[in-house]
Amino acid sequence: MSYQLSTINYQFNLRRAISIVIMVVVALIQFGCANESVPTGGKKDEKPPEAKKISPPNKSLRFTSTQVKITFNEFLKDGGFTQTLISPPQDKKPEFHVEGRTLTIKLKSPLRDSTTYTINFADDVKDLNEGNTASNLTYVFSTGDFIDSQKVSGSVVLAKDNTNQEGIVVSLYPQDSVNGILKSKPFYFAKTDKSGQFKIENIKSGKYLVYALKDQNYNYIYDQPNELIAFSDSILDLTDSVNDEVKLFLFDENKRKAQLDMVKSLSPGQLKISYNRPISNFKLDWKGLSKEDFAYIYPTNDTIIYWYSKYYIQKDSFFLSANDTILDTARLELKFVKKDSLFTRNNILSGVANQPNRSKEDTAKRVDFTFQEFNKAIKINLTRPCIGINETKQLHLFEDSSTNYSELKFVLEEKTKQSIAVDFEKKENTKYRLEIPDSTLQDIFGKWNSKLVYKFITNAKNSYGNLRITLKTQHPENYYVIKLLDASNNTVQEFFLTGNGERKVSAENILAGSYKFLVIEDTNKNGVWDTGNLKNKKQPEKIFTYKESYQLKGGWDLDAEVKF
């Protein structure tokens, strides 16, 4: 009897357990169906969200709704829709709500009669999982019987180098707009793609001001000192059926006020001082100041290197003045060497410039000679400035294995005092050994150099060629600066053209390699490129770049023609 009862209880408990398991499985399935989730794993999704259902439909006519629903093919991220704009502008910004795959837009202001509206979402529509952006997505509708059909397209490049600019806001304002991009948000806009191209559609017929903005705070207004701007010289007339493409040149107005960026101790006796923009003058004062100290400024006029002789000071305050008005104090922990200790490395010579760096393979083979261009002076860099020269010492030059040598003079670079130039008539394909005797150069700390031996071999004359250049312009009344650039975009030579439609020039004895040209239309004839100014309606100076490069072979003459 008890056996039968326990069997019955066991069967009952088994059936009950099975029922519970089934109920849990069903509940999990139902929960999964009711709560959709983004699948994980697999190949990374790089596609932006796509609209699959729109109500009312895009480009609806006689629109009377106060709400728009757009359902996408994937879940959306709710980022607040801070960049989204509706044009023409409304008194109250629409409300945006994301739920799963659906975006709901509630219009809060009355709509005008017979008007085409465009909601431009900028970069606000993103998928939930990867954050892929549906850039330049728009929803268009009209309260009248037709959709405005005017459009404009074009490109944006950076004025100083003609490179295509991505993500730039191109804006349209009615011709009578007051202060335009300085005070108000645009009526129509689009962002440039990777190739710098833009297209704005569904514009009302009329005349417009055109701007481009690298918007740093995403408010569509040119109000930050680090924002880049561009503008069209002419009014965009969208009353015609055919319009030329608009090309805009983005520039930095240098609106930022000069401010101290950094004061840094680079090494014992050396400071680096930098500002956020070029300055006109600079002064420094501190307790360690001495007559041996000196400073030099970079060609960009925004960075100063200051050398001081009291290398043993560990910390102090520096009083800085720029442009006669900007005053700053910086207290620094300084890199130092104890006053009564000896330098373990007292050689102030650090290497030779204008030389290709040795490869790891060369180093492994212990190659003693580096290559030197036979038609260029040897430049030897110094780790610290040279403030004293022993005039009784001379540099010794040995040719090949000969014991005969000649005595050479050198020239100290005056601005930085950190390099010397040695020049002499060299032979091609010849090995040389240059010796700088000890105690020839004295650094800012009073230390004299130890002996330096530098070995080099000159290259062949047929490593060089000549470039014969014909410069042509259709605007001889303008002034042009023409730069010859090497493969690394370094300026090899500059030429000038003014008052003449054609000029022949040449670049003699330059290394074989790839060369190209850059031309600046120098409107103020100061020899350098100048940026623009929005308030004064001054465009940045035009730069012409050329995709074509010229391959110069050693021992050859090559003809090149540059038109602008």
Final residue belonging to a domain, choices 459, 485, 513: 459
In a domain, 503, yes or no: yes
pLDDT of residue 255: 77
In a domain, 14, yes or no: no
Q: Which helix (H) or strand (E) holds 5?
A: helix 2-34
Residues 448 and 478 in one domain: no
Give the DSSP per-residue string, 318-342: EEEEETTTEEEEEEEEPP---TTSP
- Domains held by the chain: number: 5
Cβ neighbours for 500, distance < 8 A, ≥ 6 positions apart:
476
33/269 Cα distance (integer angstroms): 71
138/87 Cα distance (integer angstroms): 11
Residues 310 and 370 in one domain: no
In a domain, 132, yes or no: yes
Instruction: Give the residue ranges of DSSP H helices in 408-541.
Output: none
In a domain, 43, yes or no: no
pLDDT of residue 406: 75
pLDDT of residue 254: 80
What string of pLDDT tens digits covers the 564 residues of the chain?
Answer: 333 333 334 344 545 555 554 554 445 444 444 444 444 555 677 889 999 999 999 999 999 999 999 999 999 998 889 889 998 888 898 999 999 999 999 999 999 999 999 999 989 999 998 889 998 899 999 999 999 999 999 999 999 999 999 999 999 999 998 788 999 999 999 999 999 999 999 999 999 999 999 999 989 999 998 899 999 999 999 987 667 799 999 999 987 788 899 999 999 999 999 998 889 899 999 999 999 899 999 988 999 999 999 999 999 999 999 998 889 999 999 999 887 665 554 566 666 665 444 434 433 334 467 888 888 899 888 889 999 999 999 898 888 766 666 788 899 999 999 999 999 888 889 989 888 999 999 999 988 988 888 888 998 989 999 999 999 999 999 999 999 999 999 999 999 998 888 999 999 999 999 999 999 999 999 999 999 999 999 999 999 999 899 999 999 999 999 999
Return the closest-CA partner of residue 282 out of 311, 307, 302: 302
- Alpha carbon of 210 to those of 154, 155, 247, 555: distances in Å? 11, 12, 10, 52
Final residue belonging to a domain, choices 431, 459, 487: 459
- Name all contacts of 92-100 with Cβ < 8 Å and 24+ positions apart: 94/119, 96/124, 100/36, 100/75, 100/76
The number of angstroms, rounded, from the C-alpha of 180 to the middle of its chain's C-alpha atoms is 27
**Quick check: pTM over 0.85?**
no
Torsion of CA 485, 487, 488, 490, to 10 degrees: -20
Q: In this structure, how many other beta carbons lie within 10 angstroms of the beta carbon of residue 196?
A: 22
In a domain, 10, yes or no: no
pLDDT of residue 367: 45
Tell me the one-letter amino acid at 107.
Answer: L
The number of angstroms, rounded, from the C-alpha of 355 to the middle of its chain's C-alpha atoms is 28
In a domain, 135, yes or no: yes
In a domain, 39, yes or no: no
pLDDT of residue 355: 46
Residues 380 and 449 in one domain: yes
Question: Domain residues for 246?
Answer: 150-250
Return the closest-CA partner of residue 527 out of 539, 508, 515, 541: 541
Read off the CATH number of the domain in which 421 is found: 2.60.40.1220
Cβ neighbours for 317, distance < 8 A, ≥ 6 positions apart:
286, 329, 330, 331, 332
Final residue belonging to a domain, choices 250, 281, 297: 250
In a domain, 316, yes or no: yes
For the chain, state the CA radius of gyration: 35
- List pLDDT tens digits, range 143-197: 999 999 999 999 999 999 999 999 999 999 999 987 889 999 999 999 999 999 9
- Name all contacts of 15-22 with Cβ < 8 Å and 24+ positions apart: none
Check residue 181 and report its DSSP letter.
G
453 contacts 433 by C-beta, under 8 angstroms: yes
Q: In this structure, how many other beta carbons lie within 10 angstroms of the beta carbon of residue 436?
A: 23
Read off the CATH number of the domain in which 556 is found: 2.60.40.10
pLDDT of residue 41: 52
Residues 431 and 364 in one domain: yes
Torsion of CA 15, 20, 21, 26, to 10 degrees: 130
